[in-house]
Structure 1
């Protein structure tokens, strides 16, 4: 049995993120990924079943990478759920600034769920972690509107979507965070 070549897996991941940014997911094929990664098309199938599996596993991995450090940001905000919400939104904007292509990749797949398998779709709303815990706290807080997690997640995505589609204007992003928080308050 072959061992996993981490360099090839990393090259495939970077190729997918780069191609998502330059040509989009609709135009991305495994052949284009292989060429961009500098591997044989057959190599992709050593690690992934098909394009859906490739996108789904990378979506989960990149999303987890982007959330690394989120628990600390939420904890540093104290016990107030509104302060934690603001901290999470600011953390997301900061990570999107630091990793714009990765953020774009996750956002693109989050809004194109038909390209993901059921496990990847579920990971966005049910995977244990600081984000799910915060969403559950928001749902339980009587100061916050009663909304399901996908609705909370959609509102929470607004500041990073603004960052991806407009100039990186700190005042506008602060205003977007304020508007999200106000929209979720009763």
Structure 2
């Protein structure tokens, strides 16, 4: 892939994530995306079959970026509590550092496209699901379906990230640690 090809594709994806985050998936026509990217509308169709393909590829790219960020430096041999705090701290860092990407990913997750595309993940792709399943199996976490455990764990992180990006809530390291700890506490099968 040539550098010009990569640059144009990247410009289109960056413009798309900005517009989707600002206007929603249906409120950002390809004409607006092309204009924001500084390319002609036809150029979009050289890289993407249609708008749905653009949305899908953007989502895949962002999922991959998030996975790499969250798992970088992860040690599956550490105790469960340390692994949990590591992964969820990394996830919170990603959400806070990438508010537009986070907003797009959330829009996609709750869209009909996102619901239709969900497939079971492999362990290598999803250390979070693997960790939640392991902690549930060891009765450290509540005996609930993985989707429920994820919702309980992600809830505090998502709420904090939204408050930060939408309302300007100032955050310090202590607030981040308290939020991750709250997620851990909510999952425990025997809260102290």
**Which TM-score tier does this pair reach, normalised by the shorter chain?**
0.7 to 0.9
Distance 1:22 1:70 in 2: 25
Partner of 2:185: 182
Q: What SS does the corresponding residue of 2:142 show, helix, strand or coil?
A: coil
Question: Taking structure 1 as reference, are residues 111 and 176 closer, same or farther at Cα in structure 2, changes over 3 Å only?
Answer: farther
CA contact (8 A) 1:89 1:177 kept: yes
Distance 2:13 2:70 in 1: 22
TM-superposed CA distance for 1:84, in Å, is 1.3
CA contact (8 A) 2:109 2:115 kept: no
Partner of 2:131: 134
Distance 2:53 2:114 in 1: 7
The TM-score, its normalising length taken from structure 1, stands at: 0.81
Matched residue count? 180
User: Which consecutive unaligned segments of at least 5 residues does structure 2 have?
Assistant: none
Q: What SS does the corresponding residue of 1:59 show, helix, strand or coil?
A: helix
Partner of 1:169: 171
Query: 1:108-137, CA deviations, whole angstroms, 9 ceiling, x for partnerless residues?
Result: 22232x134844x22xx5144233432332
Question: Taking structure 1 as reference, are residues 34 and 70 closer, same or farther at Cα in structure 2, changes over 3 Å only?
Answer: same
User: Which consecutive unaligned segments of at least 5 residues does structure 1 have?
Assistant: none
Distance 1:146 1:4 in 2: 51
Distance 2:146 2:35 in 1: 39
Among candidates 141, 144, 147, match of residue 147 of structure 1: 144
The TM-score, its normalising length taken from structure 2, stands at: 0.78
TM-superposed CA distance for 1:184, in Å, is 0.8
State the superposition RMSD in angstroms.
2.7
Distance 1:132 1:157 in 2: 12
CA contact (8 A) 1:34 1:41 kept: yes
Distance 1:32 1:138 in 2: 46
Q: What SS does the corresponding residue of 2:49 show, helix, strand or coil?
A: coil
Q: What SS does the corresponding residue of 2:59 show, helix, strand or coil?
A: helix
Partner of 1:160: 158
Question: Taking structure 1 as reference, are residues 157 and 4 closer, same or farther at Cα in structure 2, changes over 3 Å only?
Answer: farther
Pairing 1:90-129 to 2, within 5 Å after superposition: 90-112=89-111, 114-116=112-114, 118-119=116-117, 121-122=118-119, 125-127=120-122, 128-129=124-125
Query: 1:74-127, CA deviations, whole angstroms, 9 ceiling, x for partnerless residues?
Result: 318x52222211211111111222222222222222232x134844x22xx514
Partner of 2:9: 9
Q: What SS does the corresponding residue of 2:74 show, helix, strand or coil?
A: helix
CA contact (8 A) 2:34 2:40 kept: yes
